Amino acid sequence: MTLGPRLIPPTFNTLPSQDPHRVVGFLVPEKLTVNVDAVGFGVDPDGDGARAVGLDAEALERLGFRGAIGDVLLVARDSGPVQIAVGVGPVDERSPGALRDAAAAFARAAARFSRLALDLGVAFALPPRVIGQMIAEGATLARYRYTVLQPSSTDVPLVSVDIVTAPKDAEETLAGIAVAAATSRAAMITRDLSNAPPGHLTATNLADAAVRLGELFDLEVEVFDLDALIELGCGGLLGVNAGSAEEPRMIRITYSPQHPEHHVALVGKGITYDAGGISLKPSDAMHLLMKMDMAGAAAVLGAMTGLGALGCRSAVTGYLMCTDNVPSGTAIGLGDVLTIRGGTTVEIKNTDAEGRLVMADALVLAAEQRPDAILDIATLTGSALQTLGPRVAAVFGNNQAIVDQLIAAAERVDEPIWQLPLEHRYRRQLDSTYADIANMGGPFNVAITAALFLNEFVGDIPWGHLDIAGTMQSERDESWRSTGATGFGARLLLDALVAFEPVRT
């Protein structure tokens, strides 16, 4: 795994504006810096700020520029940097998320350039720290490309962005940029891992990447091989792995701040390639995406790299449950019964419902530690995609306060989630004649029965479950979401962990 480039984010600087009370976007370009290829100026729907790019409101309108968030217009000059009009939208829509989107649109419009400057912040009545974070996140994430396997790629890397700000706000703006360095890196590491082809990212490779990242970010990483998993009694992970030529791995990652205030456990599904096992998936476009069936584990690993930088006061233990799920003469079959750690037996009614099996072992291990909460994340069910589409993930939980904390974090990072009911009247669908529980319910409400299955293994620990099957990838560039793996969940979990508050059961 090549993760190096993602560990060194672009350089972000602040530049003092000549007049902190100026009209939005009014700044003479040559006063920015001599080493900038493109300069972005905020322009609103009324055309305020248009003169910064040498045009008036009428000219911008003729050229199709409306000033909405996401609108951009490049204006070339005979010399000096290219000037880009960047829509800032109407005043009542200028939220932190809108600023992130505007910065992303600018960075995409300037995709041929490596050194940029941006004058947007004064249009947004937001704290300087928020302005710095939103601009840095939007620009960095929008310019992401997975080019590890394209040595001839012509993509231009983003090297630096100068953010224009009032001198008095420079320090706080830089503080926000520092936060963005951690959050963006977490998301891009997650994207790198999720985009990697299955032949390049086996369970063993993923464990090696975790060890390397642990060394870089002061995390304790323990890798459990086949023999260790047998000793632990992790029958779910071992059963799913039975058809594979590759050994499974459980990766336990521990973040330990001084004098931790709380303890949170994370569980991530790490199926490095999901062919469906004996319940073989149809050969359609979905097969191409099954290299991303480890996006939950990647999100846990990515999130944990940012905990130290953001000063998380909770101890965090992450479990990454890693294997592929392929058919062979040794693979588990329908009707087989597996024994999860702790002794619960599971009848296999569908080998393509494997994620919940590997996660069950980890949920039991996590619950044995008696943490204040358990959070899990998984590309678990197509039902979540069918229900909420590709932009919204499903969230379930046995404790409303935990679910509310996840929803609040999702809103802050603009990774939308929607609560679905943990409807216990559907639990009977998981009844088995031959085991304690079956791994599959009926043909409907699959996301709910999958969550009910996981709920069986957390005991009385407050628990939240994110089903990110729909949000794991994007078919096209959209705002700060780049084509391919989105890294969904890494920034959400990181935000939730930093802000975590224990709840009463």
Helix axes 128-142, 170-195, angle to 10 degrees: 30
Q: Measured between alpha carbons, how far is 103 from 91 in angstroms, rounded to an integer?
A: 16
31 is catalytic: no
Q: Are 466 and 455 in contact (CB under 8 A)?
A: no
Do 74 and 81 meet the contact criterion of CB atoms below 8 Å apart? Answer: no
Active site residue 145: no
Q: Where are the alpha helices (DSSP H) in 389-480?
A: 400-413, 446-455
Tell me the DSSP string of 81-134: -EEEEEE---GGG--HHHHHHHHHHHHHHTTT-SEEEEE-GGGS-S-HHHHHHH
Q: Which two tokens stand for residue 256?
A: 């330990």
How far, in Å, CA of 192 to CA of 46, rounded? 40
Q: Tell me how many degrees the CA angle 190-194-198 measures, rounded to the nearest 5.
A: 145
Residue 50 to residues 31, 216, 392, 405, Cα–Cα distance (Å): 17, 45, 35, 41
- Phi, psi for residue 153 in degrees, rounded to 5: -60, 140
Residue with tokens 């050194």, as numbered in its chain: 115
**Catalytic: which of 129, 356, 481, 491?**
356
In which order are the strands placed within the sheet that holds 72-75? 11-16, 160-165, 115-119, 38-43, 82-87, 72-75
Six-digit token string for 146 = 């997975």
Long-range contact list for 221-229, CB < 8 A, 24+ apart? Answer: 221/251, 221/252, 221/253, 221/254, 222/251, 222/252, 222/253, 222/254, 223/249, 223/250, 223/251, 224/249, 224/250, 224/251, 224/252, 225/249
User: Do residues 275 and 461 touch, judged by C-beta distance below 8 A?
Assistant: no
The two structure tokens encoding residue 365: 């291990």
> Under a CB-based contact definition with an 8 Å cutoff, are residues 117 and 27 in contact?
no
Q: Calculate Rg over the CA atoms of the chain.
A: 24
Cα–Cα dist 442/12, whole Å: 52
Closest CA to 410 of 472, 352, 488: 488
User: Residue 413: is it exposed, middle or buried by C-beta count within 10 angstroms (0-12/13-18/19+)?
Assistant: buried
- Catalytic, out of 51, 281, 313, 412: 281
Q: Which residues are part of the catalytic machinery?
A: 281, 356
